[in-house]
Amino acid sequence: KNQVEQSPQSLIILEGKNCTLQCNYTVSPFSNLRWYKQDTGRGPVSLTIMTFSENTKSNGRYTATLDADTKQSSLHITASQLSDSASYICVVSLSWGKLQFGAGTQVVVTP
Amino acid sequence: GAVVSQHPSWVICKSGTSVKIECRSLDFQATTMFWYRQFPKQSLMLMATSNEGSKATYEQGVEKDKFLINHASLTLSTLTVTSAHPEDSSFYICSARDRSGSMKEQYFGPGTRLTVT
């Protein structure tokens, strides 16, 4: 069964602090892994996309890592800002293009 | 970057009526568009895959006669919720796959909030 599991389910962090979100997957055959940010009441916005040969990719204060051997990915947020409050979704793409979604991690950044 | 728009952004309708939601790729051509539904505090659930010029492919458990999908052009797909009921109230999101590029990236629309009273 293809699954994408994210942890933690939610977290609260102080503005300016760093945090790391985890994603484990059992999806096969794997094409690429994406991280999306979804603000409440909005559609997901792509942060990073990585193929199996890429270990890390950055987008501003967001850095994603991928270990295709252990089937784990992480998203690190550096120097968090209030605008980072959102749901972060890990999405794995199967080789034929279908997306498998994680349940998301709800991040709340407090002043 | 690629932009996908949805219209309307929110709609309230009475039970038994039909509602049409439009999804447009504004600056790229999309041979494939996807329709998702998202309930509160849950992730996106794929409803159907829409290919330009052909019939949509529905996921298991999604009623094709209730959720009518039309993909008439490379930039427009529509989802019509027929005979809507309160349980159809949800957040509907479309995405469009850019047919160019090796990653075949999917770009998501901003979503449409449907409330059926």
B3-45 pLDDT, tens per residue? 899 999 999 999 999 999 999 999 888 888 999 999 988 889 9
CB contact under 8 A, B43 and A104: yes
Give the residue on B whose Cα is nearest the Cα of A102.
B43
The partner residues of A38 in beta bridges, in order of sequence, read A87
pLDDT of residue A2: 57
The C-alpha atoms of residue B12 and residue B26 are separated, in whole angstroms, by: 25
A36 touches B: beta carbon within 8 Å = yes
How crowded is the C-beta side of B109, counted as CA atoms within 13 Å? 33
Residues 80-99 of A with CB under 8 A from B: 89, 97-99
pLDDT tops 60 at residue A99 = yes
Identity (one letter) of the amino acid at A58? S
Q: Look at residue B101 in the predicted model and tell me its pLDDT.
A: 61
**How many other C-beta atoms are found inside a 10 Å radius of the C-beta of residue A52?**
15
- Per the CB < 8 Å rule, is A44 touching B4? no
Q: Which residue has the tokens 């829409």?
A: B50
A71 close to A84: Cβ distance less than 8 angstroms = no
Tell the burial category of A41 from Cβ atoms under 10 Å away from its Cβ (0-12, 13-18, 19+).
exposed
Nearest to B110 by CA among B14, B18, B21: B21
Cβ-based contacts of B41 with chain A (< 8 Å)? 106
Write out chain A residues lying below 8 Å of B110, CB-based.
42-43
- pLDDT band of residue B88 (cuts 50, 70, 90) is very high
Cis status of the peptide bond prior to B86, with omega within 30 of 0 = no
Residue type, A95: S
pLDDT reported for residue A28: 79
pLDDT at A1 over 80: no
pLDDT at residue number B51: 86
